[in-house]
Chains A and B, each alone.
Chain A
Amino acid sequence: MNDMNKTNDNKQKDAEKSFLQEEKVFQAISRLDDDLIEEARPRPARIKRPSPKKWLAVAAAVLAIAIIFPYIMDFSGAMPRLDPRFTGKTGKDAAPQSPENLHESGELADYGPLLAVNYPAGHSYEDYDARRQIRDQNQLSGDFLEAVNDFGFRTAAAILAGNQTGENVNYSPLSLYYALAIAASGAGGETAAELHDLLGVRDTATLDDQSGMLYRSLYFDNEIGKFLIANSLWLDDDMNGEPVIFKDNFIKNAAENYYASSHSVDFSDPATADAMADWIAKNTKGTLLPELEVDPEQILSIINTVYYHDEWTDRFNAQKTEPGSFYLSKGEAVEIDFMKQTFDTGMFYRGDGYTRASLALKNGGNMVFILPDEGVSPADLVATQEKLEDVFTGGEFFSGEVVWEIPKFSFQSKLELKEILQALGVESSFLPAKADFSGITDHLAYISSLTQETHIAVNEDGVEASAFTDLAFVGAMQPEDRAEMILNRPFLFGITTYVSYPDTDGCRSLETPCFIGICENPTA
């Protein structure tokens, strides 16, 4: 019996020894020269995922600028000649025209596009060459990207700090930037100067050029996610019987650099509001169905939509989602489902009054969550632009275990932005006597309203039971620190994306905020 045990023991020892030797060979092969490894690099393997269950982050925004014909007008001057293209409206199905053909056509669609645009071609998620090509062809300037970020934080701080109602708020700086940039492209004099100042650019040419490049750099539409930015111009050429002529250059530039389609409409017809709402719903994949009101005095509406949808790089296990309490600012608690996940080796930042960590999205973006420290309210963290920037980009870096508990939330918010922009120095655009949109039309015109509606959802789309192993992973690294991102009290969030630009040292990139918001009550 003893002998038998000994034999078994020896067998086991031999097996262990051989196993160690095999592993030594494995380790040695790990260390082969780089060139041998490069030489044998296989084509990327497609891995079949275990289930189509997806955890999604979806966000959408629409921004509408209404440009109106002033009520009190001096018609003593000669009225501009009626542009023959704007007579004889035809059916709704008239084919859209390319910018080049604009001059040659004598026909316009009723509410169909007068001028359609071709959006950038989408490329597949794995097409790195296409991505690289887009980056190479759109050499953004670091100054411009910083201006976009500065605009984002400046306006977001003003909007979020002004939200004293304790309601959820979500704001897309990017959407406002594009809508204002289009308006600025047709502005002159002081109106243009004020807009350029807020947008952080010196002149219209730079703004148009860089906005176009940023558009192409951000845009993606693949099998995993979408980042769709759409702009449109809604033009009414008839103001109570008086013809209104829009300038070709404005419309063509909007199409070329802002991918803005143009639509000829009649703002005194309620069907116009429906046509605009349809366009918004289509471009936000049905997430936004706004009820629009149009003003018969309106001559132009600029609408921008941003639609963002991507999958988490690290999926949540639906079976771990559990109901829990979320404590509102006023003290009471509401019940909501929390998605849970722990990263043994994660990255996070701690700053004055907050902890920040991000969840990566597959197309390179991030959803950033900022949990105010106990006793700190989101309002404290958004009080000034400097504080908001610190909260999103500053703090001390740590790596270690990150425990996530995120309420599944979804809400819509609506913002009136006119007063905020006025407070930020954009004044003449809103004043009938001072506004100069001479690049859009020779008629007097001013901005009457500026509204943004957004939708955000962080949730599970389509549930399918699938097995997840439930092992705590022991990494090779010892966690140095630990963060609990247990978002059971009001928090800040953002969706950001990295945009690269050439620099003297090679290539740098900036994390650009596309959405910034506060979740006060995930059940609201």
Chain B
Amino acid sequence: MKDSDIIALFFAREETAIAETTAKYGRLLQSIAYNILADVQDSEECVSDTYLQAWNSIPPQKPESLSAYLGRIVRNQAINVWHRNRAQKRYNPADVMLEELGDIIPAGAGIEEEIDANELARHITQWLRALATEDRILFVQRYWYALPLKKLAAEHGSSANKLAGRMYRLRRQLKDSLEEAGITL
């Protein structure tokens, strides 16, 4: 079913919307949550909550890309669960990913006005668009879809070590680019 048809079902308040969403995106959402949490039950909870949030937010929202819209919700759900698990000292793959993202944080005294997430997103988007396609896909797959390095390496025909180096260079490039733009977090 096309996204627009599924969205039409949400608008018509047809419960089928959930079934259709599950059929089309269930696996994808589950894998995003699982990549962050590495726990089947935790990720199933995130996915269920994603459906409910979608049900409650469409309408009024009318997303252009349903997969990106749902993916954002599930990322947020997953990071909430990650917080909970972190408080309980449960290890999650998100720890590794967030640590990697630490490399991107630009150096700065912190006296300037802090940038908000939307503005930061715009800068990162701009930077991504200037990258070679493969690098761009790699970055988004690692940090948006939270795919584990090992899996990324396998998919891109590289070794995990080599790929880790490439990812590190990408993060440094982004950091430099943010610093050049005078961005502080």
Contacts and interface: CB of A to CB of B under 8 A. Distances in A.
Interface of A: 18-19, 21-42, 44-45, 47, 49-50, 126, 128, 131-132, 135, 313-314, 343, 345-347, 360, 364, 397, 399, 468-469, 471, 473-477, 498, 500, 505-509, 511
* Main DSSP-derived SS at the B contact region: helix
B4 A37 contact: no
A507 B125 contact: no
B155 interface: yes
B128 A32 contact: yes
Given A38-B65, A364-B22, A468 B41 contact: yes
A47 B23 contact: no
Which 4 A-B pairs have CB atoms at the shortest separation, nearest pair first? A40-B140, A45-B31, A28-B120, A31-B121
B102 A40 contact: no
Contact of A131 (B2, B23, B44, B105): B23
Interface of B: 1-2, 4-5, 8-9, 12-16, 18-20, 22-24, 27-28, 30-31, 34-35, 39-45, 48-49, 52-53, 55-56, 64-65, 67-69, 71-72, 75-77, 79-81, 84, 97-99, 101-102, 104-105, 117-118, 120-121, 124-125, 128-129, 133, 136-137, 140-141, 143-145, 147, 151, 155, 185
B72 A31 contact: yes
B125 A33 contact: yes
B12 A47 contact: no
A36 B72 CA distance: 13
Nearest to A48: B40
Contact of A44 (B27, B40, B133): B27
Given A39-B137, A474-B84, A500-B16, 16 more contacts: A28-B117, A31-B118, A32-B128, A37-B140, A41-B67, A132-B1, A345-B49, A345-B52, A347-B15, A469-B42, A471-B84, A475-B52, A476-B49, A506-B2, A508-B9, A511-B15
Given A36-B140, A364-B19, A399-B56, A508 B27 contact: no
Nearest to A345: B52
14 contacts: A28-B120, A30-B75, A32-B144, A36-B136, A41-B28, A44-B31, A45-B147, A49-B40, A347-B15, A347-B55, A469-B39, A505-B8, A506-B8, A508-B9
A34 B14 contact: no
Contact of B68 (A37, A313, A346): A37
A39 B136 contact: yes
Contacts of B19: 360, 364, 498
Contacts of A507: 1, 5, 8-9
Of residues A27, A314, A347, which shows the largest number of chain B Cβ atoms within 10 Å of its Cβ? A27
Given A37-B67, A42-B145, A345-B48, A25 B104 contact: yes
A364 B27 CA distance: 14
Contact of A19 (B97, B98, B144): B98
Nearest to A469: B41
A40 B137 contact: yes
A506 B5 contact: yes
